[in-house]
Amino acid sequence: MALLTPEDLEDLLNKLRQSNETIKASTGKGITEICEEVYGTRPASQKVAIVPITAGNGIIGNFSSSLLAITEYFGLEGYITDHPDITGYHQAVSDGADILLMADDHMFIAHNLKNGKIAANHICTGVIYSEIASRFIHAGSKDVMVIGLGRVGYAGAEHLVKKGFNVYAYDPNTEFMEKAIEELGVNAYDSADHKKFSMVFEATPNANTISEGMITDRCLISTPGIPCALPAELAENGDIDLVMEPLVIGAAAMLYSVF
């Protein structure tokens, strides 16, 4: 799995503000309202403890401080534990924290100790980015394109199918394609069909996964994938709305899903 770098997390709240402007312009609602509608929850003064984790590749610079900034952006009190790992976990529970945020190289979780709810970042990221794509106010149909059916992409495809969208998907991994066709009932995207989409949810670790032939002139591309899926020459087109942000949107969805 591609890990975040400290550089990805620089200037995070400005990146969020830009993304939120695009989300509002293309869906009519901001990220807070969308999270409230998807999860049916609101913050209620929960205390959030962020526990740095040294396992595997270790601490990522700016990761814990970014989670603290996100916590505070959504109106909650938060803090980073003095020590990482088990000692930090013990401190958070002893302090009476309501919600824990912590990540190793494989899982990033939010755990609400008071109501028992637990959220995984890959699921929440898939749900919230696919939800944003599906809300495009200029869409002419219920067709949505999903690019990448890994951990994040599959969760988003499942969310869209459950919401009644007509989901097309592409992943070069044939096992993942077959699973999504059999278990979710998605349509296999075939470029030879020359079908174009105005709503695209992209979740791959690769650049330039979107080609001109896949998208309508006016479209919304919602992507947690790093680096950018949209080739630079297409990104210059002012009619393409691009929602792409490295951490906050997915982390916000995690918090709302455990409130």
Tokens of 210: 């979107």
- Residue type at 127? V
Least Å distance, CB 246 to ligand NAD, is 5
Based on the shown chain and the rule CB under 5 A, indicate whether residue 126 belongs to the binding site for Mg ion. Answer: no
Q: How many CB atoms lie within 10 A of CB 47?
A: 16
Within 13 Å of residue 194, how many CA atoms lie on the same side as its CB?
0
Residue 116 near residue 173, CB atoms below 8 Å: no
For Mg ion, the closer of residues 225 and 250 by Cβ is 250
Query: Token pair of 137, please?
Result: 């106010």
Among positions 104, 120, 150, 237, the unique one binding ligand 2YG when judged by CB under 6 A: 104
Q: Taking the complex as a whole, how short is the minimal distance between the CB of residue 63 and ligand 2YG, in angstroms?
A: 4
Q: What is the DSSP string of 110-156?
A: EEETTT--EEEHHHHHHHHHHHHHHT-TT--SSEEEEE--SHHHHHH
CB-based closest residue to ligand NAD: 150
Task: Kindly tell me which of 62 and 134 has the beta carbon lying closer to ligand 2YG.
Answer: 62
78 versus 224: smaller Cβ distance to ligand NAD: 224
Residue count at the site for ligand 2YG (CB under 6 A)? 17
- Provide, rounded to whole angstroms, the least separation between the CB of residue 121 and Mg ion: 8
Q: Under the rule (CB under 6 A), what is the footprint of ligand 2YG? A: 1, 3-4, 52-53, 59-60, 63-64, 103-105, 108, 121, 246-247, 250
